[in-house]
Structure 1
Amino acid sequence: MPAARESLLEAAYTALARRPWPTVRMVDVAASAGVSRQTLSNEFGGKDGLARALVRREADGYLAGVDRALTGPTEPRDRLTATAEWTTSSAQDNALVRALLTGCWSERLPCPPLSAVPSASAAPAQRRADGPLPSPADLVRDRAVAVLAGPGASRADTAEPARSCELVVRLALSRVAAPPAGNRVADLVRGALHR
């Protein structure tokens, strides 16, 4: 039931935007998605399963944007700048992405365990959601190094891209955690990579 699953996730995300996760009721999410409460239970197993699936969906969406940024412009510096811009804008617009990136889960948000939980779900998508959540900062750095260094690069070939990627990830995350007024993250990244 991919369509019902996505409708339920969208309804849960909309409900979360309106009220704290502890007050989101499953019956309301199901009604908003136009499905029965039983369909929600069959798909996610309960509120914890829905929370894990929702966080996984937002993490996957964020990482898809990272992949787009890294395969965009031809210059590595421009790719890293685009990645930093995507990271800061995603975190600004999405509280779940911000929490994943910073590790700061407020009482308003679902806080699923980052490690895997036992899954008895028949739905492959839920078994994946029940697996360990990605660490986007690590995945961004690792993805960026792989793209910038190229396939089959030796450890020596990845040293410089790894340092640059680490710097960019840290600059972007500092902007997410404590957004200052003024300079855009792109200006900071270009200035830091220029040195």
Structure 2
Amino acid sequence: MPAARESLLDAAYKALARRSWSAVRMVDVAAAAGVSRQTLYNEFGSKEGLARALVRREADGYLAGVDRVLAAHTDARERLAATAEWMTSAARGNPLVRAMLTGCWSERLPMPTLAAVPSTSAVPAQRRADGPLPSPADLVSLVRDRAVAAVTGAGATKAEAVELARACELVVRLSLSCVAAPPGQGGVAELVRQALPRPVR
């Protein structure tokens, strides 16, 4: 029931924008999605299952956004600058993404355990959500590895590939620091341009 699942996740996300997770009621999420409460429980099993699925969806959406931005530029420096800008703005605009990246979960947010939980769900998407969720370190590695793959040319030497990996790690960590302490004039992209070694292949 993919359409119902997405509607329920959308409803849960909207509810979270209005009240803390502890005050979000399953019956209200189901009503907002236009499905029965039984459908909600069939899909997610519990409020914890809904929370895990919501966090998983936001993590997947964040990584898909990173992929889109990396693919939108051809120049390596601009790819990394645009990615840093996007990473920071996406985290500022989405409290779940911000919490996943920083590990700072407020009392308003669901905080599912990162470890896998036993799953009895017949729903493949929920079984995936019940698997391990990405930690901040996992997300840093996933974004860094995507950036490395996007900027490393086929003819790069081993030494060049190592330098590019360092540059990508720097960009990701600089971006994360800007989530907590937004930069001034010029923004994140300009900071990245100044910090990157020249030339970036």
Task: Name the TM-score, length of structure 1 as normaliser.
Answer: 0.94
Percent identity for Structure 1 against Structure 2: 73
Q: Alpha carbons of 1:153 and 1:180: their partners in 2 closer, same or farther (altered >3 Å)? A: closer
Structure 2 counterpart of 1:30, one-letter code: A
- What residue is the counterpart of 2:169 in the other structure? 166
Distance of 2:173 and 2:29 partners within structure 1 = 36
Work out which of the residue numbers 180, 186, 191 in structure 1 matches 2:189. Answer: 186
- What residue is the counterpart of 1:34 in the other structure? 34
1:124 aligns with 2:119: no
| Aligned positions of 1:10-29 closer than 5 A | 10-29=10-29
User: How big is each residue's C-alpha offset from its partner over 1:125-175, in whole Å with a ceiling of 9 and x where there is no partner?
Assistant: 001111112232111011111222246977544201111101101110000
Distance of 1:157 and 1:19 partners within structure 2 = 49
Distance of 2:153 and 2:121 partners within structure 1 = 38
Work out which of the residue numbers 126, 129, 142 in structure 1 matches 2:145. Answer: 142
Distance of 2:166 and 2:2 partners within structure 1 = 40
Structure 2 counterpart of 1:158, one-letter code: A
Distance of 2:9 and 2:28 partners within structure 1 = 12
On the 8 A contact 2:167/2:197 being kept in 1, the answer is no
Structure 1 counterpart of 2:62, one-letter code: Y
Structure 2 residue runs without a partner (length 5+): none
Q: Structure 1 stretch 185-194 or stretch 152-161: which is displaced more?
A: 152-161
Q: Tell me how far 1:180 sits from its aligned partner.
A: 3.8
Q: Alpha carbons of 1:6 and 1:152: their partners in 2 closer, same or farther (altered >3 Å)? A: farther
RMSD: 1.6
Secondary structure of the 2:196 match is helix
- What residue is the counterpart of 1:104 in the other structure? 104
Q: Which runs of 4+ in 1 moved over 4 A?
A: 150-155
Task: Name the TM-score, length of structure 2 as normaliser.
Answer: 0.92
- The number of residues matched between the two structures is 195
Q: Structure 1 stretch 35-44 or stretch 172-181: which is displaced more?
A: 172-181
